[in-house]
Amino acid sequence: MTDKPTRRMVLGGLTAMLAAPAFGETGTFRFPSIDGGEYRLSDWAGRPVLVVNTASLCGFTDQYEGLQALQDRFADQGLVVLAVPSNDFRQELASEDEVKEFCEMTFGLDLPMTEITSVRGPGAHPFYAWLRATHDFTPRWNFNKVLIGADGRFIEAFGSNVRPTSRKLVQAIEGQLTS
């Protein structure tokens, strides 16, 4: 299969998905939860969501501390930090159970977390395929951050080098908080 048909298929599917979204641009996206069940971005309507592709064995893994700090600091004002473990860069543990245990034991994480999910390429989760198609954004490495506004619209993407507690990211989050 060539790149053009794949792109056409993705764009066609995304157009259908976004025809009547329940929550801004992102309302129809669902992620399988690492705990079972699923997360729907529409469940967090009215709240900003920071979606972060993560990996347990990456040099940026210490950013989990900052992600948890953001969640702790801004949760009462509406922020949700969604961790999306991915093995696209071959730096994730072998199973969801291992990822969950590592994150809880090493960082005390209690963020919502998805199952191990592809974030790039032809097998990318629909959210990440949508980011590529509509906002020309594809994670280049682990710990890329995507801020979705309280209205469900894409606000900004931040690379791996932008620390979770950096002034730039915190100011972007503060601009989206409900109170």
Query: Known catalytic residues?
Result: 58
CA 168 to centroid of chain Cα atoms:
18
3-state secondary structure the chain: CCHHHHHHHHHHHHHHHHCCCCCCCCCCCEEEECCCCEEEHHHHCCCCEEEEEECCCCCCCCHHHHHHHHHHHHHHHCCEEEEEECCCCCCCCCCHHHHHHHHHHHHCCCCCEECCCCCCCCCCCHHHHHHHHHHCCCCCCCCCEEEECCCCCEEEEECCCCCCCCHHHHHHHHCCCCC
